[in-house]
Every structure is written in structure tokens, then in C-alpha cells.
Amino acid sequence: MWNDRDTTAFESLCADGIAFYPGLLDADRCAALLDAVAWSRRHPSSSFRRLSPEGVPSLESDLFRWRDVPEIRDFVTDEKMLGLARAYLSTDDPVILEDQWFWSEAGSATDSPWHQDDPYHPLDRPFLTIWVPLTPVPAGLGLRGVAGSHEKTIYSPVEFSSGENTLSADVSSLEPVPDVDAHPDLFSVIDPAGGAGDAVILDSRTLHSAGGACPADFVRLSIRYADPATVRRGRAWPTATFWDVYDWKDGDPLPAHDFPRASSLLAKEPA
């Protein structure tokens, strides 16, 4: 059932490319998902990455855990999540593009520089991200975005990992991301003040950033949904290395086994 929070978030997302959705998850759901992420952290997949240097408190990430973690699978197919994706992507049956969690240990530096999600993916159209903290958000570490940037320039992707490459190349035809913080007069930054269970919703083209020094463990989960009509489009710049495993060419649809439609997951027994 669509409510006032859904309407407000949808209208903000359409206008600004970023929206705040308070109370998307209650405390019990946050706790259950936090336990699920902790389990997946102890059982990393091939997509697991340590994004911080060795020898310091870690910032870690993993992808595609809907495949083997029932609580994450239930989350990506939650009716509230799918309702937002259906509305923004104008489709009855969104594709589950990916889930990704980030775990910042106390004492880590969690800087996520200004970037857009779109250029990391060799896809012909934008997608939707729903980002939810599962623990309290340390001051200044929430996700923030530049209003209206989803309708403007696409910038070069930046490397996030200090330990191993997450991009397929280091040469890009795109211009670098501007220094948003150095030019506050040129950019309208939206900085939602949220906590555990409060979501930020993003168009994949929206410039956004997060991070800083973590006084306590900080865990967040993001889900990305795509239009089922999405096809491969080659990029003249580096994309995320996980795409390199797929044998596909321009114009091919997303591989259905790895990027299923929501309906196909809902029709099957939980993993």
C-alpha cells in the first residue's frame, strides 16, 4: 500500500535524484539483517573485498549475497523495496542487480569519495539504489548527494580499494569528478540526517559521497534494481571487475541466472 512517505520519497527522487525514507526498517529487521551480514562476513564470497590498507581497522565489502543468505534474499524481494523500484523504474518486475554490504570497524576511515554508481556498470540505462544503515550512523558519515546531478554529466569512476583493483582499467575518457566540497556555491548538497533503518534512495547517476572516521562499527546495506529491458552497452572507461566474468556483447540482456527478475525469486523457495 502506497503511503505518504512513499509519495514524498518518490517525488524527491524524481526531482533531485536522491530521497530520504525514514523508518524503512524497524529495529527488529535491522537486527536480523545485521546478523545476516555478520554471518556473510565470516563466510566471504568471491566478491569480498577489503577496501582499506592492511594493518589498520578494516573497511570490508561483499556483493551478491542474496544468493546464499536468506535474510538478504528476503530483503531484496520485500514488497516495500520492490514497490519503490517498480515506481521509479516504471516496470512491474525489476531485476535484482546486486546487493552490497559495507562493514567499517571502529577506528577505520570510511571515506567514500564523490562518485556516481552509473559509470561502474556497462549498462544502457540508469538503475536504482536503496541504501540502509543497519547500525547507528556516526556523525557526518551518512550518505549525501548533489541534487539534480542525475540529469547532468557522467564522470569518471574512481578506485575505492587500496589493496586490489576493483576497476577493469585505469584509463578513462570521462572527465574527473569535481571537488564538490571545495565549491559549495556550485553544488546543492542534500545531507539527510538519518539513523539505523532510515534509507537513502539514489538514481545511479547521482553524485554522492559518505564517510569519515568511525568511532564504532558501522554497517550498511545497499540494494540495486534495474529495468528488465536493460542491455549491455560497452563503455570507453573502466567498469567494475565483476562484469568481466560474463561472456556477453553489446545489446545482450542481463544474464538472467545472475541477475534475476524479482518475480523469479518470489516464485521459488528461499535459498
**Residue 271 clears pLDDT 70, i.e. is over it:** no
Report pLDDT digits (tens) over 58-68. Answer: 899 999 999 99
Q: CA separation (Å) from 29 to 9, 20, 75?
A: 21, 18, 9
Residues whose CB falls within 8 Å of the CB of residue 182, separated by 6 or more in sequence, listed in order: none
**109-139: b (≥16 Cβ within 10 Å) or e:** ebebebbbbbbbbbbeebbbbbbbbbbebbe
| pLDDT for the residue numbered 226 | 98
Distance CA 225, CA 97 (A): 5
How far is it, in rounded angstroms, from Cα 257 to Cα 20? 32
Task: Give dist(CA 32, CA 71) in Å, integer.
Answer: 7
Give long-range contacts, CB 8 A cutoff, 24+ apart: 253-257.
Answer: 253/228, 253/229, 254/95, 254/97, 254/123, 254/226, 254/228, 254/230
pLDDT digits (tens, 9 = 90+) for 75-119: 999 999 999 999 999 999 999 999 999 999 999 886 778 999 999
First to last CA, the chain: 27
In this predicted structure, what is the pLDDT of residue 23? 94
C-alpha to C-alpha distances, 82 to 78, 96, 217, 224, 243, nearest whole angstrom: 6, 10, 29, 10, 24
Contact 1, 87 (CB under 8 A): no
pLDDT (0 to 100) of residue 162: 47
Residues contacting residue 95 through CB under 8 Å, at least 6 positions apart: 225, 226, 227, 228, 230, 254, 259, 260, 261, 262
267 φ/ψ sector (left φ>0, alpha ψ -120 to 50, else beta): alpha
Rounded Cα–Cα distance for residues 199 and 172 (Å): 32
pLDDT exceeds cutoff 90 at 53? no
The 10s digit of each residue's pLDDT in 162-215 is: 455 555 445 567 888 999 989 888 999 999 888 999 999 999 999 999 878 899
| Residue 229 confidence (pLDDT) above 80 | yes
pLDDT digits (tens, 9 = 90+) for 116-170: 999 989 999 999 999 999 999 988 889 999 999 999 999 988 866 445 555 544 5
User: What is the pTM assigned to this prediction?
Assistant: 0.91
- Contact partners, residue 180, CB within 8 Å, separation at least 6: 114, 146, 186, 187, 189, 207, 209
Instruction: Name the band, by pLDDT with cuts 50, 70 and 90, for residue 220.
Output: very high
Q: Which of 228, 215, 65, 81 is nearest to 137 (CA)?
A: 215
